[in-house]
Amino acid sequence: DYIYRFAPTDVVQGRAQARIMWDDNITHVIGVTAQDAWGEELRDTAKARFIELGGTWWPQQIDYSTEAAEFSTEASTLATEVQSAIDAHGNDSVGILMIGFEEVAQFFTDATAYPVLSTVNWYGSDGTALSGALLNSATAADFAISVGYPNTIYKPSEEATSKFEAVRQNNIDVLGREPDPYSFACYDIVWAYALCLMAVDTYDADAVKEVLPTVSGSMLGALGWINLDEAGDL
């Protein structure tokens, strides 16, 4: 998995994905995207940055429903597009960016029916980094290994705090494993809301919203200092 360190937002992650593919000498990318606000925004951000770097985004994208249980049709269409891209530009310059969640295991299983799909590099996102479904499917895991499939994942600031270590150790004690990076964000979110409620002394969303930037700006959380921008993002 690739780590990006700036902020856990789609904009930062999308730009990181584009840079990773470009640094791998990928010049033509085919997008495979879950049809929801998160997937589409992340794809569009990666697409814009990849084109900015000098790459080409393949015009035929593969979008699929997040409620789908199997992906034979999508895999077949993708195979056709990949073959066209390879014929025009060669295997080494073609990549696939797949943005989704645990359904990647089924998608990869269906993709094994089309040998051409294992001849190019695949890339993922934080939705599939550390995927349990992928690790638990031998067929999907083998396919992922064969196509590389690096995933981006947010990493909290390296200015470790006692809260960071407390969250980390609690996760290890309770679940028996290192925490997902977003565990630290969840911890800070709960505390930020709690401190805001204490500050306004009322269960009023507008009142909390008003004081949130000030309260969080003075808060040293598990992620470090919690400074928000005008959009409310870290």
Each residue of 19-62: pLDDT tens digit?
999 999 999 999 999 999 889 999 999 999 999 999 999 999 99
Contact 46, 148 (CB under 8 A): no
pLDDT at 2: 46
Listed in sequence order, the residues at least 6 apart from 59 whose beta carbon sits closer than 8 Å to its beta carbon are none
User: What six digits make up the tokens of 115?
Assistant: 């040998």
pTM of the model: 0.78
Distance CA 96, CA 124 (A): 9
Closest CA to 31 of 50, 16, 12: 50
152-154 and 2-4 beta bridge pairing: parallel
pLDDT at 219: 92
pLDDT at 31: 97
Low-confidence ranges of the chain (pLDDT < 50): 1-6
pLDDT at 155: 72
